[in-house]
Amino acid sequence: MASTVFGGLAGFFTGSISSVFAEPALKRTSPLAVTSKGMGMIAGQTALFAAIGGVFAGGTVLSGTVRGKDDMWNQAVGACAAGTVVGARFGSARTAVIACPLFAFTSIMVSPSFPQPLWDSKVRIQ
């Protein structure tokens, strides 16, 4: 649930920024005026990011339940599933195939259960 909410907030933020820069020549009556096209961009980004967050969380939990373990690979499975959402959004299997391993790699790298690097002061080589 938190991933979906956070994803939605991130999508709202990025959609807001995108809508401002999408039509720089647009004559606005006030600084906060947003066109229907801008609102569509905000809604689309919000929905996409919320879906990515929800699918990531669901995939992670499902993988942990099926595997019976709680480790970084569950997050990689959830991230790969989230990558397929991007491919589905753009209607491209190629995008899904590219996004899946990229999302999975990124989730493994930022996972708290990822092994610490050798240069970390907590790790002692004996």
Query: Buried b / exposed e across 64-99, counting CB within 10 Å, b at 16+?
Result: beeeeeeebbbbbbbbbbbbbbbbebeeeeebbeeb
**Rounded Cα–Cα distance for residues 33 and 52 (Å):** 29
- State pLDDT tens for residues 76-87: 999 999 999 999
What DSSP element (H or E) covers 87?
Answer: helix 72-90
Q: Any idea where the domains of the chain sit in the sequence?
A: 2-26+34-110
27-76 per-position pLDDT tens digit: 555 655 666 777 777 788 888 888 998 999 999 999 999 999 888 889 89
Residue with tokens 């929905």: 47
pTM of this structure: 0.71
Q: What is the distance between the alpha carbons of residues 49 and 89, in angstroms, rounded to a whole number?
A: 11
